[in-house]
Amino acid sequence: MRHTTRTLLVAAGALLAALVPPAAGGATALAAPLAALAPTPPSPAAVSAQAPGTVVQRGGTLHVPSGEEGSVTTYFGAALPGDATGTVKARLLLSNLDWPPEGSDEHIPSELYHTRWSCSVNGGAFVDCPYGGGGFVLPETQAAPFLTYAVRVDADSGAASNPLLFGSFDVFDTAGRRIATGGAGFEFDLGTPEARHRTVLHARDRSGVLWQYEGTGKAATPFKPRQRVGGGWGGYTALTRLGTPTADGKGDLVARDTDGVLWYYRGSGDPSAPFWPRVRIGGGWNAYTSLTGTSTGLLARDRDGVLWHYRSLYGAPLSAPFAPRARVGGGWNAYTSLTALDGTVLARDTGGVLWAYHPSGSFDPTVPLRPRVRVGGGWNVYTALAGTGDLGFETSHDLLARDRDGVLWAYEGNYFGVPRVPRTAVGRGWNIYDTLL
């Protein structure tokens, strides 16, 4: 069961997000501070009530956020027998793991690869917890009626796939006799994914300012408050991303100006200034009525409805990022909107039916897509569609759709990059933007 305080705060954040429009700073997310979630050392009253020979984990199972939140600490109070003397050793055994045998090249079970453990005793400095005897070994100390051990855990987002670890905390005397024992538990909750795993949405307002919405990794409140990228973007008649931008400042886009010149913006890796200065690709791009970036390159539709594929040349200079165009086929004027979920192209026809063109995997640049598959009707209610990365639904790519009232809806994408129902409302007031990408 997840921590009650965290659940209430996330629910409150979801309520506030529905009430705050983008113009006021985007969706608002609340998070419980880690200090409020971490247990505290045992109190004097708890110490006096604890029977000798027992170890108690203060607050019970420790809830560890798996992501970029940082470390949390749990405390084990060990009440030793009255005859305990000399140096004592402690071990944290996680018994539901398959620990490698002594002398193995493997040091820890694979389930712990996404975690970092450090420990201390009686308020001493934290040190890395070494592996030994089928568990983690804590610093040695002198016997006393009561000892307080601290275990600090930091986990990245990969740890959430193994949500519960449990076992025992044991204290041994110099003869190797166990003189105190008690249960231990660690539950890994889904936290905020690292920036490299979180998506970004860009939106251009009607005055030409480009804004960035950093993803939170939480489906209920998928975006942090917006950040200003810069002005002057109103001079472009088409904007499209190449690949999926991420919250660590990665992700490229191309922009066509009113003269038909195409420009390349390389992702900088700096979230506060996500693009390097633009680089000129070339002129003549006014021949196209639609530009759509995919995982393989750029799709361009001309006025006759012919679709052309410009395959990305990885490692090429930014001024020449694409191979010569290859003809995909005609008839694409049947669509009023083209957007991409990674390699899958979603096309909405004049009747409001949405179609999915999955990537072919072919090395032939003239055949980048498979035959279309019908997704469903009714998509004419939306004035903008934008493919994006994972919004917290635990899929790699999701779809955003804005309706005529300015409400933004999120559709979870399935394994094949096709949006699934039911939709989820993620904000209001999005009519202030003329472009979402």
Cα dist. 37→3, 41, 283 in Å? Answer: 8, 13, 57
Question: In this model, does residue 35 exceed pLDDT 70?
Answer: no
Q: Give the pTM.
A: 0.78
Phi, psi of 148 (to 5 degrees): -115, 115
Contact 81, 45 (CB under 8 A): no
Confidence of residue 150 (pLDDT cuts 50, 70, 90): very high
CA atoms within 13 A on the CB side of 184: 27
Beta bridge partners of 241: 253
Q: What is the pLDDT of residue 2?
A: 34
Question: In this model, does residue 174 exceed pLDDT 50?
Answer: yes
Confidence of residue 46 (pLDDT cuts 50, 70, 90): low
Question: In this model, does residue 175 exceed pLDDT 70?
Answer: yes
Contact 208, 228 (CB under 8 A): no
| Interval 265-304: pLDDT, tens | 999 999 999 999 999 999 999 999 999 999 899 999 999 9
Question: In this model, does residue 16 exceed pLDDT 50?
Answer: no
Confidence of residue 34 (pLDDT cuts 50, 70, 90): very low
Question: In this model, does residue 169 exceed pLDDT 70?
Answer: yes
CA distance 340 to 62: 41
User: Which residue's entry shows tokens 């395959």?
Assistant: 311
Question: In this model, does residue 1 exceed pLDDT 60?
Answer: no
Give the mean model confidence (pLDDT) for residues 394-401. Answer: 82
Q: What is the pLDDT of residue 37?
A: 45
Give the mean model confidence (pLDDT) for residues 405-418. Answer: 84
| Interval 316-328: pLDDT, tens | 999 999 999 999 9
Q: What is the pLDDT of residue 33?
A: 38
Region for 4 from its dihedrals, namely left if φ exceeds 0, alpha if ψ lies in -120 to 50, beta otherwise: alpha
| Interval 325-368: pLDDT, tens | 999 999 999 999 999 988 899 999 999 999 999 999 999 999 99
Contact 174, 80 (CB under 8 A): no
Q: What percent of the chain has pLDDT over 70?
A: 86
Give the mean model confidence (pLDDT) for residues 377-393. Answer: 90
Q: What is the pLDDT of residue 96?
A: 85
Give the mean model confidence (pLDDT) for residues 47-71. Answer: 91
Q: List the one residue out of 249, 112, 243, 116 whose CA is nearest residue 194.
A: 249
Q: What is the pLDDT of residue 223?
A: 93
Give the mean model confidence (pLDDT) for residues 213-228. Answer: 91
| Interval 67-120: pLDDT, tens | 999 999 999 999 999 999 999 999 999 988 877 776 665 677 888 889 999 999
Q: What is the pLDDT of residue 4?
A: 34
Who wins on pLDDT, 327 or 416? 327
In terms of C-beta distances under 8 Å and separation of at least 24 residues, what long-range contacts does 213-217 make, across chains too?
213/22, 213/26, 213/27, 214/247, 214/271, 215/247, 215/388, 215/389, 215/390, 215/391, 215/392, 216/27, 216/29, 216/192, 216/392, 217/67, 217/157, 217/192, 217/193, 217/390, 217/392
CA distance 87 to 211: 60
